[in-house]
Amino acid sequence: MNIGYIYYDLLNLYGDDGNIKALKQRLTNQGVKVNIDYISLGDTINFNNYDIVYFGSSTDNNLLIALEYLKPYKNDIKRYINNNKFLLSTGNSIELFGKYIQKGDNKIEALDILNYYTEYNENRIVNDINYNCTIHNKNIIGFENHRGHIISKEKNFLYKGDNKYGVVYNNFIGTYLIGPLLIRNPYFLEDYIKRLLNKEDIKEDNYYLEIESYKKAVELIE
């Protein structure tokens, strides 16, 4: 399985590279050979080469730098998503794929791939959260630190009853959660591996410590 970590040196805060490490470890445990391409600014990206691509979180300034480098790939990314290929976006990188980013009077054109846009508030949201997920039978926990809200008229929410913090479309999953997502949510990771491999049952893995940590966090985070 080929994984593309897009702009790993620019879109990587809060240990979000742990998502890549988790994917590699869990897939390897299933007997899958994993190849990871760490793609930097200026590297040529061939999205056809990848079974999954990952975009992590960044500073607001670095996000805009990444946006400019990604604009030539807009149609490639759109085709990738529409072809049901896997794309995981965490933190503020979710803002890249909407129509635009509204920061006060400043309207920044984004990749315009999915039907939502981002609206920034004056106050930054910094919080631990515990949300009920629309594609998963257990809650998702995580940490958020952002000013943007996702505005969407479609019912493509990642979290039940709330469209501000996550979006699902085909096999695109975008969430503001950071921390990293796949390590803090072992049940979600297990389901994600099943979806990647297109299997209902996979080899049993040792999630004991991750599960105990998850259970304790669910108790503590309201």
Residue 159 confidence (pLDDT): 67
How far apart are the C-alpha atoms of 97 and 115, rounded to whole Å? 9
How far apart are the C-alpha atoms of 150 and 138, rounded to whole Å? 22
Residue found under tokens 């979710």 = 94
- Closest listed residue to residue 43, CA positions, set 73, 75, 79: 73
222 residues of the chain, pLDDT tens digit each? 999 999 999 999 888 899 999 999 999 999 999 999 999 999 999 999 999 999 999 999 999 999 999 999 999 999 999 999 999 999 999 999 999 999 989 999 999 999 999 999 888 888 898 888 888 888 899 898 888 888 887 766 676 665 567 888 999 999 999 889 999 999 999 999 999 999 888 888 888 888 999 999 999 887
How far apart are the C-alpha atoms of 212 and 132, rounded to whole Å? 19
The token duo for 97 is: 């794929």
- Residues sharing a CB contact under 8 Å with residue 97, sequence separation 6 or more, in sequence order: 77, 81, 89, 110, 111, 113, 114, 167, 172, 174
Residue 46 confidence (pLDDT): 97
How far apart are the C-alpha atoms of 52 and 80, rounded to whole Å? 10
Q: What is the pLDDT of residues 28-46, one digit of tens each?
A: 999 999 999 999 999 999 9
For the beta carbon of residue 138, count every other beta carbon within 10 angstroms: 14
Alpha-carbon distances of 222 from 132, 200, 215, 216, rounded to whole Å: 12, 31, 12, 12
Q: What domains, with CATH codes, occur in the chain? A: 2-220 (3.40.50.880)
CA angle 190, 191, 193 (to 5 degrees): 65
Residue 156 confidence (pLDDT): 66
Total residues found in the chain within this entry: 222
Phi-psi region of 58 (alpha: psi -120 to 50; beta: other; left: phi over 0): beta
How far apart are the C-alpha atoms of 10 and 67, rounded to whole Å? 11
